[in-house]
Amino acid sequence: MSASSNPLRRVVYVSHVVSDALPGGRTMLEDILAAARRNNSRVGVTGALLYSNRRFAQVLEGPPDAVEQIFETIQCDPRHDHVAVIEVSAPESRAFADWSMAFAEAPEVHPEQLDSPEAAEQLVGLLQAAIRNTEAAAA
């Protein structure tokens, strides 16, 4: 993991699941998560993925170059489209330092919540809460 003095980049994006990519349902999600966890940990990227209502919301954070390259890999994935970046920032610290890719499924998230100006901030908060709850349940 990178030292705290190194610059961090955070990207938050939302996208739609391509409808005919879903037959596998959970399998597809598991594939994506497994690949993300495998790839991200190699390059010091952490983050969280939210799946709700056929939409993805993902936070990626880590060394700028690694984040940009992981993001590009994700861009080329045909299983989603309508990708919209809602935040690119240089945060002081990671929001998901312990997770190569945390996962939360939140059926109560509505698309319009992702379109508001505060969406990125809300999303990070939502993901953090969801992950805390998951951890608590698992403990």
Residues that bind another protein (CB under 8 A): 9, 11, 13, 35, 38-39, 42-43, 64-73, 75-78, 81, 83-85, 88, 90
CB of 47 to another protein, least distance (A): 14
Residue 124 buriedness (CB in 10 A; 0-12 / 13-18 / 19+): buried
CB of 129 to another protein, least distance (A): 26
| CA separation, residue 26 to residues 6, 22, 30, 77, 112 (Å) | 36, 8, 6, 17, 24
Q: Which is nearer to another protein, 22 or 35 (CB)?
A: 35
| CA separation, residue 68 to residues 1, 51, 75, 116 (Å) | 17, 21, 10, 24
Q: Which is nearer to another protein, 77 or 128 (CB)?
A: 77
Q: Which is nearer to another protein, 15 or 52 (CB)?
A: 15
CB of 116 to another protein, least distance (A): 18
Give me the residue label for tokens 């890719």: 101
**Token representation of residue 45:** 């990227």
CB of 39 to another protein, least distance (A): 4
